[in-house]
Chain A
Amino acid sequence: MALLEFTESGIYCPIADIYIDPWRPVERALITHGHSDHARPGHQHYACHHDSVNILRFRLGQEISVTGYGYGETFLHRGVRFSFHPAGHIIGSAQIRVEYQGEVWVASGDYKLEDDGLAPAYEPVKCHAFITECTFGLPVYKWPDPATVHQEINQWWENNRKAGKVSILSGYSLGKAQRLLHHLDASIGPVFTHGAIENMNEVLRESGVVLPDTRRVTADINKKEYKGGLVLAPPSAIGSAWQKKFQPFSEGIASGWMALRGARRRRSVDRGFILSDHVDWPGVNTAIRETGAQKIITTHGYTSIFTKWLLEQGYQASAESTQFEGELNEMSEADNSEKAA
C-alpha cells in the first residue's frame, strides 16, 4: 500500500485515513493553503498552518472545526507522522510531510522558491516521494527578478499619476494582492482596495499580519480622491462596470501568465507584469532535485509534458489528475476564489 494515493476524493493516506486538500467532503482533511481549489467546504475536521486558520474560517464558515499547527510541528495519527513546512506560495501555505516507518512523502500543494517578503520562504524537505504542481512546468516560463518587477510596477504607477490617471492593478485577493501591496511605494499616492481584497486584508490584519494602509473603495468616495492613486482589484473586476468610476485609468495585471505575449494580448490590459506565486521552470527542477526524491508525482499544470521530461531525467515520474487549478482562475472572467469568498 502506498503511503499516499490518489482517489476520487483527493490525495489520501490510507494508513491514517486522512486526506490532503480533498475536493469531496471527507472526515479529516489537511489543507496546504487557503485557495479555494485546495481548501474546499464540507469536511468534518480541518488541519492547516496557524496562519491559514482564520482564512479558512472566513472562506468556509466560522463554525468549521479546524486545528492550526506551526511549521515543523509534528503530530501522529495511527502511527503516521504529519508536519507542515513553508511552501512560500502565500501566507499560511505549507507543504505537508507524511512519514511512516521511515518512508517520507511530501505533498507540496502550490509553492514558489523566491522569498516574497510576506509568506515565510520555501524550505526544501528531504523525501522519497514528492508531489508537485507544474502550473508553469514548461521551459518558456522563467520569472524575472521580482525586485525588478516591483520597480516596474511602481514606475508604471508613477507615470500614470503624472498623466493624471488612476492605476488599476489586478491580482487574486488572497496572496497576490497582499504581496503587491507589500511592495508598493506608498510615497507615490494612496492605495485603494476592492471589497473582496479588503475583506481578506482585514482577516489577515486580525491574525497579526502587518500590511500597509489601504482604503476600501466605496460609493461615497469622491471620484477626485482616486486621482493619482492605485486600486488593487481581483481579476474578476477587470473589464467590469465597477471600474468606470476610476476613469481615466490604466490597467495592469500581475500574473505568471503575463510571461507570454499571447496571454497578455488576450487580456488586453495596458500592462502585464510577470509575477507569480508558483514555481517557474528552473524553480520546479531545483525544488525536485533538492528533495532528493526519486519518485515524483505531478498534479496540476503541464503534467504530461513535464512528466515526460522528468522520465527522461531518470526520475520515476507519473502524472495524476486532480481538481487543482493552479493559477487558472487568474485568467478567467469569473474568479472562482472570489465567488467562494
Chain B
Amino acid sequence: MRQFAQLFRRLDQTTKINLKVGALHEFFAEASDEDKLWAIALLAGKRPKRTVRTSLLREWGAEVANIPLWLFEDSYHVVGDLAETIANLHPQNHSTQQENLTYWITFIRNLDGKEDDEKKELILTTWDSMDASERFVFNKLITGGFRVGVSQKLMVRALARYTGLEENLLAHRLMGNWSPVDTSFNDLVLAENPDDNRSRPYPFYLAYALEEAPENLGVPEEWQAERKWDGIRGQVIQRGGELFVWSRGEELVTDKFPEFEILRQLLPDGTVLDGEILPYKDGAPLAFNDLQTRIGRKNVTRNVLQKAPVVLVAYDLLEADGQDLRHQPMRYRREKLEQLVAEVKGKTDVLHLSEVLSFKDWSQLVAERARSREMHCEGLMLKRKDSIYEVGRKKGAWWKWKVDPLMIDAVMIYAMRGHGRRANLYTDYTFAVWDGEALVPFTKAYSGLTDKEIREVDAFVKKNTIDRFGPVRSVNPELVFEIAFEGINRSTRHKSGVALRFPRMNRWRLDKPAAEANTLSDLHQLLNEYGG
C-alpha cells in the first residue's frame, strides 16, 4: 500500500506529464504483478464493488475524530472529498501496516455480506494502522473515483515504456470488461495471444472539434461528410455467435438494447461495427432526451421499447471476418460497410447506414450543418477518405463540426461548493430567468468560467449570501451569465418546464444588469422552435 500511496502522491503532486509517466514507470518496475494490475484497473476507472455505505463511513469518521456529525458534514463540504475528509480528521498519523494494494482490495471485497458492526471494527482498526496518505487511498478504494490526472493514454505510455510493447496494442488489450479478479498481468498485458476475449472492443477513435473554417481542410474530394448523430456512440460486436454492445464509456450495455439481438444471427462471425445508438421511430430520429430516459430505467419494459426504440446508425467497420480493418483507409472500410449493411437490409430495421452527404464545395456543407437541429443532429462529421481508424483522440483526419449552441442570458440565484480541484470554492451554480417579477430556476451549470472568474464569483457569493440550505447558498440575484446549450426539451420534472442539454456558461455578462436577463417566455420560444 505504501508503494501505491506513494505513486498516488507523486501523480497528484505534479501536473507535468513526464513526471507522471516516470512515476508510473517506476511503480510498474517495483510493484508485484498483482499490484500492477490493480493499479491499472483503478486508474482506468475500474474499482472493487462498494461494500460499505458512505453514510456509515461518515458516521464512523465523525466518531473517531471526536466531533459531531454536522461538523463532519460541514468539513466534508469544504474538503469536497469524503475519503480525504476522513483521512485528515483521523487523529492518527503513523503507519504500522505493511500490506500491499492487492491485500487491501481483497480486504475490502471481503467486507461484503458482513454485519455493519463487524465492518466497523475492521475499518476502524485499519484506519488506526495507517498514516493520512495511506488512509486516504484506502478510503478511495472503498468510495471509488481515482481522479488523479492520469488519462488512459498516459498510463498506456508508461506501460509501453515498461513492457517494451507498442502503445496501440496495449490500449487495445486494456479495453473491455476485464477484472483483476479473473485475469493476471501476464495474461492481460504480456501474453502474445491474449486468450482473445471475444467481447473486447477496439479503442474508439475520437475527433476534435473543428475550430476554423472547413476551407482550411483542403479539397472537398478528399473528405467524407456525415451527420453527427445525437445518440450514444457504441460498438456492436458479433464474435463466435455472441453479440456484445459497448458504449463509448467502455460499458457493456448489450442487455439495455434487446433490439440488437437479431444482429447476432444476421451479422457474420467476426464483425465489429462502430456507430451511433439512436432513438428512432416512424422513419426519423427522436430527441436524445428520449434515449436518456430509457437508459435511466433499470428494466427495459415493453412500454419503453415502444416509446423509444433504438437503431444502430453504423458509420464504420472495424473488423470483418475476424480481420482488424483499422489500418485500411476510410474509403475501403466504408465500401465494406455499405456491402454489409446492404446484405442485412430487408431482414431487419435496426441497422442503418450513416448517410454520406455529397458536396462539391464547402459552402454546401454550411447549409447542411444549418439543418442539424431539425434533423436532431449535433452537427457534421468530417473524415478524410484515406484516414485509418486511430486510437483515442487524434487531430487531423477526423473532425466534429458542431452546430452553434443555443444561448440565453440568465441570472445566478444559487451557488454550491464544487468538488475535487474546485473544493471549497463556489463553482456550481443555479440559473433563473424572469417570469414577471419572479425568477424561475431552469438549469445548473458548472463549467465555462476561467479560474480567475471562478474566484471572483466565489467572492461575490460569500459577500452576497441571502440564505443557506445545507451546502447551498442563495445569493442576491445580480450576476448575469450567457448560458450556452446544445438542445432543449420539454420536461415535467422542472418548474420551468424545460430541460437543457449540455448547459454551460459561455460568458459572464458583466455588461448586463439582472433586470435585462431573458424571460421564461424567451425560453419557451426556444423550446417551441427547437425542442423535441
Interface residues of A (CB under 8 A from B): 138-140, 142, 259-266, 268, 270-272, 302, 304-305, 308-309, 312, 331-333
Contact = CB atoms under 8 A, between A and B. Distances in A.
B420 A260 contact: no
Interface string B442-471: 000000000110010000000000001000
B12 A265 contact: yes
Query: Interface residues of B: mostly helix, strand, loop or mixed?
Result: helix
Contact of B65 (A139, A302, A305): A139
Nearest to B456: A332
Contacts of A264: 12-13
A140 B419 CA distance: 16
B7 to A, nearest CB: 15
Nearest to A141: B88
B420 A140 contact: no
14 contacts: A138-B78, A140-B78, A140-B88, A140-B89, A142-B88, A260-B78, A261-B79, A261-B81, A262-B79, A262-B81, A262-B423, A264-B12, A266-B425, A332-B455
Contacts, number: 69
A270 B20 CA distance: 11
A263 B81 CA distance: 12
A266 B85 contact: no
A146 to B, nearest CB: 15
B186 interface: no
A140 B15 contact: no
B421 A265 contact: yes
Interface of B: 12-16, 65, 67-68, 70-71, 74-75, 78-81, 84-85, 88-89, 149, 419-425, 451-452, 455, 468
Given A142-B88, A259-B88, A331-B455, 9 more contacts: A138-B74, A139-B71, A139-B75, A140-B85, A260-B423, A262-B421, A263-B423, A312-B68, A333-B452
A155 to B, nearest CB: 13
Given A140-B85, A140-B89, A333-B452, A262 B422 contact: yes
A139 B351 CA distance: 58
Contact of B74 (A259, A261, A265, A305): A305
Given A139-B67, A305-B71, A266 B89 contact: no
A266 B421 contact: yes
Given A140-B78, A302-B78, A332-B455, A265 B420 contact: yes
A236 to B, nearest CB: 12
A332 B84 CA distance: 23
9 closest Cβ pairs, A-B complex = A262-B423, A265-B421, A140-B88, A268-B15, A266-B421, A140-B75, A305-B74, A262-B80, A138-B75
Contacts of B71: 139, 305, 308-309
A266 B79 CA distance: 13
Contacts of B14: 270
A260 B75 contact: no
Contacts of B149: 265
A261 B75 contact: no
Contacts of A261: 12, 79, 81, 84, 423
Given A261-B12, A271-B13, A140 B79 contact: yes
B445 to A, nearest CB: 19
Contacts of B75: 138-140
Nearest to B462: A328
B78 A270 contact: no
A304 B67 CA distance: 16
B254 to A, nearest CB: 37
B519 to A, nearest CB: 35
Contacts of B81: 261-262
Given A270-B16, A302-B78, A333-B455, A262 B420 contact: yes
A270 B16 CA distance: 8
Nearest to B65: A139
A266 B74 CA distance: 21
Contacts of A302: 78
Nearest to B450: A333
Nearest to A305: B74
